[in-house]
Structure 1
């Protein structure tokens, strides 16, 4: 009897292994595509998060600067009027700076002559509009006022619209408008 050599692998087994190998490659390729898509989505989400964080930080800084300006305007003492004006000017830029600086001498004179003292109590602020590195902030500040003519303390509420511009990484008041 003649023995025939039979391969362990029959043609159907080779097709099966080839199919498994092909399926394995497809699964690996699909997994790679899914990983790339997830990495892309994560990259976009990270970029959006950083943009939102930067915007929030800018607005937070502008709100703080606007509150500071309002408190500086609402806190003036006849004994320290000149340094109070310098403090306001330090947070100012542009039109507001120029206007306030040009009237500073007469402002100090009136404050000293009438012995005015105003003390800012608290300031609330909100963004009205925002465009890049500048925006408009609404501020309401409460203060108490006394002067030589009316020595009894009176409460005042000021409502202001301040345009805040970023100058050398710091927000400064570029325009100020009193709101009724």
Structure 2
């Protein structure tokens, strides 16, 4: 990423990553949870958060529109509005830098959950390639906090923050 928008995004990502690591340290006990350890409600929230995080962290400069739509389909509220307002800039920046990013969620935990809201903390790795890295991708590590709300029968992401 280049220019002012690239620096802003990198700064925002770094700040969010700091917050997530702190939150993970406060919420997660030393062992990871498997799907069998979760209630049905926790599994539903975890599935929605995993899907949204993967969509959010995936980039393909050759075909950004479906990726942007995937994020928006799992988003709501201010997060959806902010992401929607940045869609053209996100797409053009991906094309300009020839960026690709393939993500995987390596760990997640449902930190808070009630009938209509949840907080999910997750760790993800992403292999990122762009004009600077050439064809050789670099692995980047992300920690995210996703706030989700229930709308009808779906869990949608209302906020995504990178945490350290």
Match of 2:162 in 1: 178
Q: 1:59 aligns with which of 5, 27, 42?
A: 42
Name the CA distance, whole Å, in 2 between partners of 1:95 and 1:160.
17
Name the CA distance, whole Å, in 1 between partners of 2:123 and 2:87.
23
TM-score between the two structures when normalised by the length of structure 2: 0.73
Alignment of 1:142 onto 2:118: no
Match of 2:12 in 1: none
Match of 1:129 in 2: 112
**Deviations, residues 78-105 of structure 1 (Å, cap 9, x unaligned):** 0111111011101101111011011111
Q: Is the 8 A contact 2:105 2:124 kept in 1?
A: yes
**Deviations, residues 150-175 of structure 1 (Å, cap 9, x unaligned):** 11210011111000111120111011
Match of 2:25 in 1: none
**Deviations, residues 106-128 of structure 1 (Å, cap 9, x unaligned):** 01110111000000133421011
Match of 2:28 in 1: none
Q: Is the 8 A contact 2:105 2:122 kept in 1?
A: no
In structure 1, list runs of 5 or more residues that go unmatched: 1-54
Question: Residue 144 of structure 1 aligns to a residue in which SS?
Answer: strand
Q: Is the 8 A contact 2:123 2:141 kept in 1?
A: yes
How many corresponding residue pairs?
A: 126
Deviation of the 1:70 alpha carbon: 0.9
Match of 1:154 in 2: 138
TM-score between the two structures when normalised by the length of structure 1: 0.67
Question: Residue 132 of structure 1 aligns to a residue in which SS?
Answer: coil
Name the CA distance, whole Å, in 1 between partners of 2:54 and 2:85.
21
In structure 2, list runs of 5 or more residues that go unmatched: 1-37
Q: Is the 8 A contact 1:141 1:158 kept in 2?
A: yes
Q: Is the 8 A contact 1:58 1:133 kept in 2?
A: no
Higher-Rg structure is 1
* Greater helix fraction, Structure 1 or Structure 2: 1
